[in-house]
Amino acid sequence: MRHFTIHHDGVTIPVSRGGRGRPLVLCPGLNSTQADLHELTGLLRRDHDVVTFDLRGHGLASAAGRYSFEGFLGDLAAVMAELDAAPVLVGYSLGADLAVHYACEHPGAVAGLVLIDGANPVPEPFVTEAVLPEFRAMWADLAARQETERGTARQVLLTAQEILELNVEIDVVRSRILDRYTKIDRPISMIMSTLMAGDGGEGHAPRFNRNWRAGIERLVREQPHIATSWLDADHGLVFSHAPEIAQIIRRAGQATPDSPC
């Protein structure tokens, strides 16, 4: 294992690298850290030289003055700039959206993409006026619970308001992401949850889950070459189904070319 730090854009990004095989970069999502992904990372290192890192304001990364999609994308780009070979780029949740944008903007820089429960061109935004009070309460509770992780490798420094604002921004990003897919000539695999918002039969969960599936069905209609795997899980599938996800990533990695065209 090798650990090092990248300094860019006024923040420090901690990076860990280890394993054997072709290179793979694992990008975490909003409110998740490389420490949270330790089970999946360990499984992937059996077949890949895995690079993990923390986004600004997460884990052992430093805080930023403000948080935005472009800021997180810059963190991923700074990590990718340290590599000397095109890796398989795996992104979870927000990390999947970052992976799509990075691959679109840097042709030939990745061998393939594996997108875990993110980068979904959903037909409707999730954060609307109708559900805003519930989301505010949910993210306030999340921020309060994260206080117990302060000073650890699992800490998240973002406030509830910053989390809310980022989710609104992510809705906008996903409303425009279909065009990004058309500009990527690398193999793409998606691993999606069937019950992204949970299995509750009441409230907003059923509508959110339908919206989630509809987005992927729309994407595959327009980009039929994208391989999609569905897991019976909620959005925490990367934690609850790590062995299954590692196996799918392994198969996807075997299908990607050894070097970019």
| Cβ burial, residue 80 (10 Å; 0-12/13-18/19+) | buried
Angstrom distance (rounded) from CA 170 to CA 191: 19
pLDDT at 261 over 70: no
Helix (H) or strand (E) holding 228: strand 227-231
Task: Please tell me the predicted confidence (pLDDT) of residue 258.
Answer: 63
- Domain 2-124+175-255 indexed as CATH 3.40.50.720: no
Q: What is the pLDDT of residues 115-144, one digit of tens each?
A: 999 999 999 999 999 999 999 999 999 999
Task: Please tell me the predicted confidence (pLDDT) of residue 202.
Answer: 79
Q: What is the pLDDT of residues 141-157, one digit of tens each?
A: 999 999 999 999 999 99
Average pLDDT taken over every residue of the chain: 96
Q: What is the pLDDT of residues 74-102, one digit of tens each?
A: 999 999 999 999 999 999 999 999 999 99
pLDDT at 259 over 70: no
Nearest to 195 by CA among 203, 205, 182: 205
End-to-end alpha carbon distance in the chain = 30
Categorize the per-residue pLDDT at 260 as very low, low, confident or very high, splitting at 50, 70 and 90: very low
Task: Please tell me the predicted confidence (pLDDT) of residue 254.
Answer: 79
Percent over 90 (pLDDT), the chain: 95
Angstrom distance (rounded) from CA 89 to CA 113: 5
Task: State mean pLDDT over 35-42.
Answer: 98
Enter the pTM of the model: 0.97
Phi and psi at 46, nearest 5°, equal: -70, -25
pLDDT at 18 over 80: yes
Task: State mean pLDDT over 22-34.
Answer: 97
Task: Please tell me the predicted confidence (pLDDT) of residue 122.
Answer: 98
CA Rg value for the chain:
17
**Which distant-in-sequence residues (6+ apart) come within 8 Å of 121 by Cβ?**
174, 175, 177, 178, 215, 218, 219
Task: State mean pLDDT over 230-244.
Answer: 98
Q: How many CB atoms lie within 10 A of CB 174?
A: 20
Domain residue ranges of the chain, discontinuous segments joined by +? 2-124+175-255
Angstrom distance (rounded) from CA 120 to CA 117: 8
27 and 115 Cβ atoms separated by less than 8 Å:
no
